Amino acid sequence: QWKWLLERSKQLAVVLEKPDLWEDPVFAGNVSREQGELMGKIKSVNQFEQQLMEHIDMLRLAREEGDNELETESMRALADMRRDAKEKELNALLSGDNDVYPCFIEVQAGAGGVESMDWAAMVMNMYRSWAQRRGYRVTVIEEIPGELAGIKVCLFYFFIASHHPIQSVHHLMHN
């Protein structure tokens, strides 16, 4: 997406320089708004890269000089940056045109009996917990419990990005 982001920003800059742009104020406003959003994203990535390089240099210096405190601080900062990068990556993946719409997720136990139903319950709880931790409201529409454990089916709704169905069968392995 980075190359596309830079290319799109260049295209919008050319459009914004046209003298007749404001003859259509709605179009001009949309272009200006999109350019502002893109520039904000580009600035954020550039700042992140600069901070990363600074922390790497600090870590290198700490190791050269044997400064354990500075090394620990640098490692902690890099770990925090890694978490931030993962969060930004997720936000980038969930930033498509349709990702502002509500989402229905259905979890079904496949072939495999009690283990499959148990696994389906774990998957349902993972999705539900993930959404709730991020502040989304989760509403269970339908839940059919398994005979002995887990669930047969659970359908729930939350306001988040579109999700694609997982097309695989999961098995719990017991030793």
CATH of the domain at 34: 1.20.58.410
Residue 136 sits in a domain whose CATH number is: 3.30.70.1660
Residue 77 pLDDT exceeds 90? yes
> Does residue 18 sit in helix, strand or coil?
coil
Residues ≥6 apart with Cβ < 8 Å to 123: 107, 170
Residue 63 pLDDT exceeds 80? yes
Residue 164 pLDDT exceeds 90? no
Residue 86 lies in a domain: yes
Residue 164 lies in a domain: no
Do 42 and 88 share a domain, yes or no?
yes
Do 58 and 116 share a domain, yes or no?
no
For the beta carbon of residue 98, count every other beta carbon within 10 angstroms: 8
pLDDT digits (tens, 9 = 90+) for 102-139: 777 888 888 878 888 889 899 989 988 888 887 777 88
Mean pLDDT confidence for 78-107:
78
| Residue (of 46, 47, 38) closest to 6 by Cα position | 38
Domain limit, last residue, from 93, 118, 134:
93
Of residues 148 and 93, more confidence is placed in 148
- Across 155-168, b (16+ Cβ under 10 Å) vs e yields bbbbebbeeeeeee
Query: 99: pLDDT confidence band, cut at 50, 70 and 90?
Result: low
Residue 20 lies in a domain: yes
Q: pLDDT averaged over the chain?
A: 83
Do 84 and 110 share a domain, yes or no?
no
Residue-level pLDDT at 112: 79
Do 88 and 109 share a domain, yes or no?
no
Instruction: Out of 10-14, 117-121, 154-158, pick the least confident.
Output: 154-158
| Bridge partner list, 138 | 158
Residue-level pLDDT at 97: 64
Residue-level pLDDT at 136: 77
Do 81 and 30 share a domain, yes or no?
yes
| Residue (of 158, 170, 152) closest to 105 by Cα position | 158
Domain limit, last residue, from 66, 93, 120:
93
Q: How many angstroms separate the CA atoms of 43 and 31, rounded?
A: 18
Q: How far is CA 29 from CA 11, 95, 112, in A?
A: 15, 21, 55
Query: 160: pLDDT confidence band, cut at 50, 70 and 90?
Result: low
Do 76 and 140 share a domain, yes or no?
no
Residue 166 pLDDT exceeds 60? no
Percent pLDDT > 70 in the chain is 85
CA gyration radius, the chain: 24
The residue segments making up the domain with residue 134 are 102-159
For the beta carbon of residue 39, count every other beta carbon within 10 angstroms: 14
Number of domains in the chain: 2
Q: What is the pTM of this model?
A: 0.54
Do 11 and 41 share a domain, yes or no?
yes
Do 125 and 59 share a domain, yes or no?
no
